[in-house]
């Protein structure tokens, strides 16, 4: 058992495993499908939050427009599902059968050209990641190469969020307008509204989120991760060490956008629609609050923060709908002022030292028994999967 | 201007901020393996000159040539890659990273985004980190967080980070400011050792220290060069005594 403990500790996987336990075992075991589906929805915001950890906490670039990328990913998925739901038979009462209902209501008589590729699932899955990434690339390349940074960059991202939501609402005929794209039914003939589909989608979403966290942890450990951290603290030093800092910032922004896009697509699949209310300024700022409350330096913390804030939202917005926004703002200001590194920071600075002190005072008398000897041959290597380690050590 | 043997050739360099000429038609030539010290009163334009060479500030006119290549309008990171290293006045290190990581990040490999993603800490890199750490006297502290180092050690670490890149021209802005007598001693030895393989420009105020390390001294005043030559020659120059050293 000790080797597993060291292995987990060495790779700092404790938090990730605890999160996996929570979202893969505890939540599905303890909640009915309606509540679980709700948690699945919250977890899709988790993708945005971990993107913000990489972008804001790790690289020091605040974006107040992550809703844009969440929305783009979600819309790409929604367009595919809408086309599948709009086959000529089920839309035969329309004046132009075979096109999405909202197009028909807006007197469109043919599917716009740029909707056509979304008949293909492969294209859609690529677009879910690439469309947000490409837009992120264009914005960030233009800004960072011109040395726009800090609060000015944050304001630009907010402007983009406003522009995109206005654009979507204005172009009702091709986007579904303020209602968004609704009535999504099947994915390649598989009914995504059934309970079994919701279970499967929940687990797919949770697994994907854990995989993304793991990927981000890996990036943090590479030289790229170190450089992003170095850039956050001493940008001049990085630049005058021969690095083109703009390129590294572009990467961080694109990474966060790609993650948000995946989250958006999972949202559409689990909730069954996508609308501009997830694109604009308010949702984008809410997403920043999720990451701030959980801890902008901790990937796992940010996901936990996302779950907690959303739980709070669904409780308070039912009981005190008018007060919710004020409460949310107060929460944000409070967190930033009192504990800027969020719940995860609180855990590191207060709870862990306290636990360590307690453990130390308890352990002193038993220290003489010594640690069990671990044979060198079964010391796990980096790529040894976890189950093998357990078999090798049948204690 | 024709090609020269100089590592750095600055001609007619001018920069003005809202009409104020911080550097005024300045000419400066640095030889290979030369250690040049620039002195001068506050506001003489010493730091601005280093900013111009490394690209942090852009010149209004004139030319800066590094090994006969025009670098006046080159991007900052390209100037570094060409072989110009610059240390800032206050220690500029990554406080949250270990000494080892500070040096590792400065190793000139994996400088593109995807290069950095693929970068592996090879035995070559480790060997170099140890060699540089030994040079700057921080070998025992490789795994210490850089923020915990003393002020002098932080200055050395930043010099070490520059040495990782093997620059041909190294520019140091007041490297011994705030150091103890013992640390100044060690720094002088360090600078003498590292200038055997490269040219250096050092800005400094401490005359004792300048006398010890300088091959040649340049005195700046109001964005211009007031005097240039050996320490003795400069110290006995009437103009220099008048504006800087005092009577």
Q: Please report the pLDDT score of residue A356 as a whole number.
A: 86
Q: Tell me what pLDDT residue A14 has.
A: 86
Shortest CB distance from A222 goes to which of B94, B101, B116?
A: B116
Query: Does position A390 have pLDDT exceeding 60, yes or no?
Result: no
pLDDT of residue A328: 83
Q: Are residues B98 and B129 in the same domain?
A: yes
Per DSSP, the residues of B179-208 read --HHHHHHHHHHHHHHTTSSEEEEE---HH
pLDDT band at A338 (very low <50, low <70, confident <90, very high): confident
Q: Tell me, what's the pLDDT at B2?
A: 57
Report the residue of B57, B105, B162 to disrupt the A interface, i.e. the one with the largest count of A CBs within 10 Å. Answer: B105
Q: Name the residue among B76, B96, B116 with its Cβ closest to that of A233.
A: B96
- In this predicted model, what pLDDT tens digit does every residue of A74-105 receive, in sequence order? 999 999 999 999 988 888 888 888 899 999 99
Partner residue facing A227 (CB), from B54, B93, B105: B105
In terms of CA atoms, which chain B residue is nearest residue A230? B94
Bridge partners (DSSP) listed for residue A156: none
From chain B, the residues in CB contact with A222 under 8 A are 116-119
Of the listed ranges A174-178, A217-221, A317-321, the least confidently predicted one is A317-321
- Tell me the CATH number at B2: 3.40.50.300
B88 occurs within a structural domain? no
Q: What is the pLDDT of residue A393?
A: 38
Predicted confidence (pLDDT) per residue in A129-169, tens digit: 999 999 999 999 999 999 998 899 999 999 999 999 999 99
B97 with A229: Cβ contact below 8 A:
yes
B1 at interface of A, judged by CB pairs closer than 8 A = no
pLDDT tens per residue across span A312-323: 888 887 888 888
Same structural domain, B143 and B178: no
Average pLDDT over residues A295-324: 89
For residue B42, count CB atoms less than 10 angstroms from its CB and return exposed for 0-12, middle for 13-18, buried for 19 or more: exposed
Label residue A365 by pLDDT band (50, 70, 90).
low
Q: Is residue B134 part of a domain?
A: yes
Give the rounded percent of residues in chain A with a pLDDT score beyond 70: 91
Tell me if residue B142 falls in helix, strand or coil. coil
Please state the domain count of chain B. Answer: 2
Task: Tell me which residue range forms the domain holding B68.
Answer: 1-83+167-247
The confidence band for A379, taking pLDDT boundaries of 50, 70 and 90, is very low
Which of A 203-222 lie inside 8 A of B, CB atoms?
219, 222
A366 vs B11, higher pLDDT: B11
Are B146 and B173 in a shared domain? no
Nearest CA in chain A to B102: A230
Quick one: average pLDDT of A110-127? 95
* B147 and B172 together in one domain: no
Q: Does A318 touch chain B (CB under 8 A)?
A: no
Asked if B48 and B121 sit in the same domain, the reply is no
pLDDT one-digit tens code per residue, B128-170: 999 999 999 999 999 999 999 999 999 999 999 999 999 999 9
pLDDT band at A1 (very low <50, low <70, confident <90, very high): low
C-alpha A31 chain-centroid distance: 22
d(Cα A357, Cα A363) in Å, to the nearest integer? 10
Residue B203 confidence class, pLDDT cut points 50, 70, 90: very high
Check whether residue B11 and residue B124 sit in a common domain. Answer: no
Q: How confident is the model at residue B23 (pLDDT cuts 50, 70, 90)?
A: very high
Annotated domain spans of chain A = 42-277
Q: How far is A214 from chain B (nearest CA, A)?
A: 15
How many pairs of residues across A and B have Cβ atoms under 8 Å apart?
Answer: 77
- B135 lies in some domain: yes
Is residue B74 located within the same domain as residue B187? yes
Domain C-terminal end among B163, B178, B208:
B163
Answer whether A226 touches B (CB < 8 Å): yes
Q: CB distance from B105 to chain A under 8 Å?
A: yes
3-state SS track over chain A: CHHHHHHHHHCCCHHHHHHHHHHHHHHHHHCCHHHHHHHHHHHHHHHHHHHHHHHHHHCCCCCCCHHHHHHHHHHHHHHHHHHHHCCCCCCCCCCCCCCCHHHHHCCCCCCCHHHHHHHCHHHHHHHHHHHHHHHHHHHHHHHHHCCCCHHHHHHHHHHHHHHHHHHHHHCHHHHCHHHCECCCCEECCEECCCHHHHHHHHHHHHHHHHHHHHHHHHHHHCHHHHHHHHHHHCHHHHHCCCCCHHHHHHHHHHHHHHHHHHHHHHHHHHHCCECHHHCCHHHHHHHHHHHHHHCCCCHHHHHHHHHHHHHHHHHHHHHCCCCHHHHHHHHHHHHHHHCCCHHHHHHHHHHHHHHHHHHHHHHHHHHHHCCCCCCHHHCCCCCCCHHHHHHHCCC
Instruction: Check whether residue B144 and residue B239 sit in a common domain.
Output: no
Chain A contact for B176, CB < 8 A? no
Cβ contacts of A219 on chain B, cutoff 8 Å: 117
Q: What is the mean pLDDT of residues A195-218?
A: 95
pLDDT for the residue numbered A180: 93
- Which residues in chain A (239-298) have CB-CB distances under 8 A to chain B? 239-245, 247-248, 250-251
């Amino acid at each position: 058992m000790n080797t597993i403990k060291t292995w987990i500790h060495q790779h700092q996987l404790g938090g990730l495993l605890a999160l996996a336990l929570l979202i893969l075992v505890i939540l599905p075991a303890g909640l009915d499908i309606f509540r679980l589906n709700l948690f699945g929805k919250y977890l899709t915001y988790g993708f945005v939050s971990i993107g913000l950890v990489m972008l804001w906490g790790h690289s020091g670039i605040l974006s107040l427009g992550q809703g844009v990328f969440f929305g783009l990913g979600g819309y790409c998925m929604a367009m595919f599902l809408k086309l599948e739901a709009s086959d000529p038979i089920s839309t035969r009462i329309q004046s132009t059968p075979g096109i999405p209902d909202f197009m028909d209501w807006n007197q469109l008589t043919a599917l716009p050209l740029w909707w056509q590729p979304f008949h293909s699932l492969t294209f859609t899955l690529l677009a879910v990641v690439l469309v947000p990434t490409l837009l992120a690339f264009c914005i960030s390349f233009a800004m960072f190469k011109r040395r726009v940074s800090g609060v000015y960059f944050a304001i630009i991202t907010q402007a983009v969020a406003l522009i995109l939501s206005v654009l979507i609402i204005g172009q009702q005929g091709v986007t579904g307008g303020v209602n968004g794209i609704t009535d999504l039914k099947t994915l390649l003939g598989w009914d995504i509204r059934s309970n079994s589909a919701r279970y499967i989608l929940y687990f797919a979403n949770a697994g994907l989120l854990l995989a993304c966290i793991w990927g981000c942890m890996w990036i943090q450990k590479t030289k790229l991760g170190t450089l992003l951290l170095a850039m956050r603290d001493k940008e001049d030093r990085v630049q005058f060490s021969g690095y083109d800092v703009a390129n590294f910032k572009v990467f961080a922004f694109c990474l966060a956008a790609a993650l948000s896009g995946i989250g958006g697509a999972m949202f559409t699949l689990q909730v069954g629609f996508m609308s501009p209310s997830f694109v604009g300024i308010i949702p984008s700022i809410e997403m920043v609050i999720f990451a701030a409350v959980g801890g902008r330096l901790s990937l796992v913390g940010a996901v936990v923060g996302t779950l907690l804030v959303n739980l709070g939202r669904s409780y308070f917005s039912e009981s005190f709908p008018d007060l919710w926004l004020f409460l949310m703002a107060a929460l944000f200001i409070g967190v930033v002022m009192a504990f800027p590194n969020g719940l995860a920071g609180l855990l590191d600075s207060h709870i862990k030292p306290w636990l360590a002190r307690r453990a130390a005072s308890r352990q002193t008398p038993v220290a003489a028994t010594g640690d069990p000897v671990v044979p060198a041959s079964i010391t796990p290597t980096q790529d040894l999967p976890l189950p093998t380690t357990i078999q090798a050590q049948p204690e | 201007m024709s090609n020269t043997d100089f590592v750095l050739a600055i001609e007619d360099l001018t920069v003005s901020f809202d009409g104020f000429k911080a550097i005024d038609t300045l000419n400066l030539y640095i030889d290979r393996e030369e250690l040049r010290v620039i002195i001068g009163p506050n506001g003489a334009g010493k730091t601005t000159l280093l900013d111009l060479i490394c690209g942090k500030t852009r010149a209004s006119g004139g030319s800066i040539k590094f090994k006969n290549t025009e670098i006046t309008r080159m991007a900052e990171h390209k100037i570094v890659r060409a072989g110009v290293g610059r240390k800032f006045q206050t220690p500029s290190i990554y406080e949250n990273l270990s000494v080892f990581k500070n040096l590792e990040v400065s190793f000139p490999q994996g400088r593109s985004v995807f290069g950095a993603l693929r970068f592996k800490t090879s035995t070559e890199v480790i060997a170099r980190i140890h060699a540089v750490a030994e040079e700057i006297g921080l070998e025992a502290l490789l795994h210490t967080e850089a923020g915990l180092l003393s002020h002098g050690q932080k200055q050395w670490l930043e010099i070490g980070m520059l040495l990782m890149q093997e620059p041909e021209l190294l520019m140091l802005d007041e490297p011994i400011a705030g150091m103890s007598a013992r640390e100044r001693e060690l720094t002088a030895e360090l600078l003498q050792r590292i200038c055997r393989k490269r040219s250096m420009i050092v800005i400094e105020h401490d005359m004792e220290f300048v006398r010890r390390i300088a091959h040649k001294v340049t005195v700046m005043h109001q964005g211009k060069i007031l005097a240039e030559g050996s320490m003795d020659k400069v110290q006995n120059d009437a103009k220099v005594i008048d504006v800087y050293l005092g009577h």
